[in-house]
């Protein structure tokens, strides 16, 4: 199969990149922080896509490009290179600006974790715990020791002089069982190390009371019970009974078709390509032959903690910019992460040496039924038209230390996309003095509390609605002037449209039902006689809570607003900027959405921010039932009528459901009864 311009990076392309950069740097030792494919130039790509879809000539040749971040000899500065891997030459190779710190990658984090556990300063603290003098009598497992665990975190920022890449190791105890939950016993010391060299910097001591005053010495540990999530470690575990199999059977196979990176399903036609930073991106998204988006991806997430006490004030992850949703992607397993007929795609990343690493099955694709798509019963005839809502789901799951993020892109049969994030996994916990109750954290077990925090997730929608020139508007619904000839009964309301003329953001306004739309002013809907559009349906949410003068906000300006509009430019990919780890400022939307550029009827990018203020509850420990965040991208007078009228009507010859009363009989055959139609 010929390689497509949007296909993800190959092992060979990683190897070429590494070799060219090693050659360029002579004897120096290269320490890679990332190697991945760079998107093709958009103008060329659009030319390519137009010819691919509509014909009209030979596909243009577009050389494949990669980018790489690396250090020399385990020292800053961080270098960035762009490589032409089709023609084997380095396009550019530059030192990043002073103070730039590269993303954290799993290899280095594991090294930091190991180093922290054997450093004398840490061993000295561990000795003070006198762990040899305590143990836990587990109801099922008998006498268990407590073991120390280290969890390195991005260091964060609280001043301008974070010049050296650092990690902060949060330390825990766990029962000596491979599946024990260490988040249940956070320790009170927390060493800081240099990230590249594992050099010990200092020991921080963690607060555990309701104020900034706390004990700064490590005391002997007193055995306490842990709150466990694994069935093998939960005491007196009794598995819940009564759940019977529910098998998604697709005897004729899946309704979707996968051809390399191209996916087609029920009128949808797009490409999906995995990458190390975003997990994956969609490209060239069409529905029923009409273009919707050039590119769509989750591009950043920041998780600021709302804890005042040092060093927790620095807890602010940028899960994509600091770690990467591809780098941290789970390998998904059949019948566990999704059901039915499943197609998987892999991710390739580079290790610190620049060697390719395969992470298999990071994306799964499947179909699901989610109730009724549309239904109407004519009460005069009793006749019903009913269609089932079949969904096509693209899923990836990233584990960023404690937390899991499940990204589901859900396509329906009527031209709508639901972008759904499920937050699950384990709360990042802090030590808590007995009886300590604050109003900024929730105790979740003995000696352990979970701080309030937020998740602010940026998506980047490079729009191409019926063509390259689009406009963002927002519509408010406001009462009509009262006591006029037209509105004498004072019941009416009308739509007030505002055009976004300059790059920037839109304020939330749920009480005027403010609706964000992308329209194409050059494409008029023949029925409404107005421009065609798609809307971004987003729930009103609290945005980032920290003070605007705090580093948390300076670094994540994007998190202050729900939706942004910028003009397209090739290097505007990530909401908080290209380099977020230990950053002091947002070099992304802060810069690009400054009001200086015209964004009406031009090539624009829309940046929705999903937000969740998360004050934990006890039900979210020791593992958290998925919390849902989502928004919709849905047609708003884009088509001239319901584009799903051609979906086959529901009937039980196809769906083969059975009556409850019959279900336990061995000779049950599905009824052939169907809707009265």
What part of residues 400-459 is at the interface with a copy of itself (CB under 8 A)?
401, 404, 406, 408, 412-416, 422, 424-426, 435, 437-440, 442-445, 452
- Residue 22, classified by CB atoms within 10 Å of its CB into exposed (0-12), middle (13-18) or buried (19+), is middle
Q: Should residue 675 be labelled a site residue for a copy of itself when binding is judged by CB under 8 A?
A: yes
Would you say 535 and 517 are in contact if contact means Cβ atoms under 8 Å apart? yes
Crossing angle between the packed helical segments 120-129 and 106-118, to the nearest 10 degrees: 60
Please identify, among the stretches 40-48, 93-101, 522-530, 594-602, the one whose residues bind a copy of itself according to the rule CB under 8 A. Answer: 522-530
The reply to whether 1 sits near a copy of itself by the rule CB under 8 A is: no
Q: Is 371 in the site for a copy of itself (CB under 8 A)?
A: yes
Judge whether 640 and 524 are in contact, CB under 8 Å: no
Considering the complex, what minimum distance in angstroms separates the CB of residue 298 from a copy of itself? 17
φ, ψ of residue 663 in degrees (nearest 5): -65, -25
Token pair, residue 186, equals 């956070």
- If the CB atoms of residues 267 and 588 are measured against a copy of itself, the closer one turns out to be 267
Other CB atoms within a 10 A radius of the CB of residue 59 amount to 13
93-112: contacts with a copy of itself (CB under 8 A): 106
Beta strands, E only, 503-623: 504-506, 515-524, 531-537, 563-567, 604-614
Stretch that binds a copy of itself, among 73-81, 128-136, 193-201, 655-663 (CB under 8 A): 655-663
How far is 532 from 639, CA to CA, in rounded Å? Answer: 8
Instruction: Write down the catalytic residue from 403, 474, 516, 551.
Output: 403
Q: Shortest Cβ distance from residue 653 to a copy of itself (Å)?
A: 8
| # chain residues binding a copy of itself, by CB under 8 A | 197
Does residue 388 touch a copy of itself according to CB under 8 A?
yes
- Measuring CA to CA, how many Å separate 469 from each of 157, 463, 598? 39, 9, 12
Please check whether residue 533 is in contact with residue 517, taking contact to mean a CB–CB distance below 8 angstroms. Answer: yes
We find the least distance from the C-beta atom of residue 222 to a copy of itself, in angstroms, to be: 18
The residue from 7, 568, 620, 629 that contacts a copy of itself (CB under 8 A) is 620
Burial bucket for residue 512 (CB in 10 Å: 0-12, 13-18, 19+): middle
Nearer to a copy of itself, 100 or 327 (CB): 327
214 binds a copy of itself (CB under 8 A): no
Q: Given candidates 82, 543, 585, 591, which one binds a copy of itself under the rule CB under 8 A?
A: 543
551 binds a copy of itself (CB under 8 A): yes
656, two tokens: 């083969």
Question: Does 139 sit near a copy of itself (CB under 8 A)?
Answer: no
Residue 58 or 244 with smaller CB distance to a copy of itself: 244
- On whether the CB atoms of residues 190 and 214 are closer than 8 A, the answer is no
Catalytic residue among 319, 412, 466, 475: 319
Residues numbered 316-355 forming contacts with a copy of itself, rule: CB under 8 A: 316, 328, 330, 333-344
- Minimum CB separation of residue 655 from a copy of itself in Å reads 4
- Shortest spacing between CB 127 and a copy of itself, in angstroms: 23
3-state SS string over 298-326? EEEEEEEECCCCCCHHHCEEEHHHHHCCC
Spatial separation of the C-alpha atoms in residues 666 and 662, rounded to whole Å: 9
Contact 229, 623 (CB under 8 A): yes
The verdict on whether 319 is a catalytic residue reads: yes
Nearest CA among 453, 488, 264 for reference residue 365: 264
CB-nearer residue toward a copy of itself: 162 or 413: 413
What is the contact mask toward a copy of itself in residues 351 to 370, using x (rule: CB under 8 A)?
--------------xxxxxx
> Active-site residues: which are they?
319, 403
């Amino acid at each position: 199969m010929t390689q497509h311009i949007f296909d993800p990076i190959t092992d060979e392309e990683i190897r070429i990149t590494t070799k060219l950069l090693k050659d360029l740097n002579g004897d120096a030792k290269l320490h890679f922080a990332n190697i991945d494919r760079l998107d093709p130039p958009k103008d060329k790509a659009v030319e390519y896509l137009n010819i691919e879809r509509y014909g009209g000539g030979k596909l243009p040749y577009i050389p494949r490009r990669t980018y790489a971040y690396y250090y020399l000899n385990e020292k800053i500065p961080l270098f960035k290179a762009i490589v032409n891997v089709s023609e084997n030459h380095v396009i550019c190779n530059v030192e990043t600006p002073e103070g730039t710190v590269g993303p954290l990658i799993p290899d280095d984090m594991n090294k930091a974790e190991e180093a922290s556990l054997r450093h004398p300063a840490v061993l000295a603290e561990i000795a003070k715990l006198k762990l040899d003098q305590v143990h836990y009598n587990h109801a099922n497992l008998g006498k268990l020791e407590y073991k120390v665990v280290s969890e390195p975190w991005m260091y964060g920022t609280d001043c301008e002089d974070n010049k050296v890449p650092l990690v902060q190791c949060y330390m825990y105890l766990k029962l000596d069982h491979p599946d024990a939950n260490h988040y249940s016993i956070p320790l009170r010391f927390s060493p800081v190390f240099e990230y590249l060299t594992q050099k010990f910097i200092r020991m921080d001591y963690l607060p555990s009371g309701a104020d900034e005053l706390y004990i700064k010495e490590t005391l002997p540990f007193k055995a306490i019970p842990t709150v466990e999530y694994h069935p093998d470690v939960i005491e007196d575990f009794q598995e819940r009974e009564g759940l019977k199999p529910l098998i998604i059977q697709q005897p004729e196979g899946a309704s979707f078709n996968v051809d390399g990176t191209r996916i087609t399903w029920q009128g949808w036609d797009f490409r999906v390509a995995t990458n190390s930073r975003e997990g994956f991106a969609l490209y060239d998204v069409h529905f029923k032959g009409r273009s919707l988006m050039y590119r769509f991806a989750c591009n950043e997430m920041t998780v600021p903690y709302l804890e005042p006490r040092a060093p927790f004030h620095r807890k602010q992850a940028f899960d994509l910019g600091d770690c990467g949703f591809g780098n941290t992607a789970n390998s998904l397993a059949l019948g566990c992460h999704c059901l039915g007929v499943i197609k998987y795609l892999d991710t390739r990343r580079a290790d610190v040496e620049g060697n390719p690493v395969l992470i298999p099955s990071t994306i799964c694709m499947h179909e699901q039924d989610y109730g009724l798509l549309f239904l109407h019963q004519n009460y005069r005839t009793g006749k019903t038209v009913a269609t089932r809502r079949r969904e096509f789901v693209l899923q990836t799951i990233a584990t960023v230390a404690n937390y899991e993020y499940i990204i589901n892109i859900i396509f329906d049969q009527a031209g709508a996309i639901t972008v759904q994030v499920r937050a699950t996994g384990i709360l990042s916990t802090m030590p808590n003095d007995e009886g300590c109750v604050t109003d900024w954290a929730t105790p979740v077990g003995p000696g352990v509390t979970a701080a309030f925090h937020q998740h602010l997730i940026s998506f980047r929608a490079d729009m191409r609605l019926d063509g390259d020139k689009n406009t963002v508007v927002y519509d408010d619904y406001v009462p009509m002037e009262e006591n006029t000839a037209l509105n004498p009964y004072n019941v009416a309301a009308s739509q007030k449209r505002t055009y976004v003329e300059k790059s920037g953001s839109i304020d939330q306004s749920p009480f005027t039902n403010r609706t964000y739309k992308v329209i194409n002013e050059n494409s008029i809907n023949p029925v409404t006689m107005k421009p065609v559009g798609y809307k971004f349906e987003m729930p009103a949410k609290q945005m980032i809570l920290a003070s605007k003068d705090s580093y948390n906000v300076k670094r994540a300006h994007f998190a202050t607003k729900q939706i942004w509009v910028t003009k397209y430019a090739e290097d505007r990919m990530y909401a908080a900027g290209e380099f977020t780890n230990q950053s002091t400022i947002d070099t992304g939307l802060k810069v690009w959405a400054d009001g200086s550029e015209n964004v009406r009827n031009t090539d624009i990018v829309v940046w929705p921010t999903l937000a969740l203020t998360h004050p934990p509850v006890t039900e979210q420990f020791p593992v958290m039932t998925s919390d849902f965040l989502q928004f919709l991208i849905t047609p708003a007078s884009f088509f001239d009528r319901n584009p799903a009228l051609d979906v086959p009507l529901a009937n039980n010859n196809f769906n083969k459901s059975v009556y409850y009363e019959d279900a336990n009989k061995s000779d049950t055959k599905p009824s052939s009864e169907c809707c009265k139609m």
